[in-house]
Amino acid sequence: MPVLFSTAIRKMPLMQKKCLDMNVWFSFAGNLTYRNARNLHETVLNIPVDRILIETESPFMIPAEFREKKRTKPNMLPSTARFLAEMLDMDLEELSVQLWKNSCKAFNLPTE
């Protein structure tokens, strides 16, 4: 089951291992793009990319570039994906394919 994560898992190595052993998915919303979301940034950098999902967490957690909006929408997901790709030093297309595969696996959906 995917979980929206907001704690720095790096600071809890035992919890990190347990979550990975339990096949937990880590889902990040638009608040990942906030400069002061260091706990989320640390977490992203300390978990495998094949366990990461992104989400809108509507109506809240709007990506930084849309902060003036009142609610988040699915068309804002690329902003979170771009930020995540930069953080992970990955090509956006490569990350997008990985996120698609992760989502299909997490929700037991076919990839094609």
How many helices (H) and strands (E) are present in the chain, helices listed first?
4, 3
Per-residue pLDDT, 69? 85
Q: pLDDT class for 83, splitting at 50, 70, 90?
A: very high
Confidence class for position 23, pLDDT limits 50, 70, 90:
confident
CA atoms within a 13 Å half-sphere pointing along the CA-CB vector of 33: 21
* CA gap 26, 19 in Å, rounded: 9
List, for residues 85-111, the tens digit of each pLDDT value.
999 999 999 999 999 999 999 999 998
Q: What is the pLDDT of residue 7?
A: 57
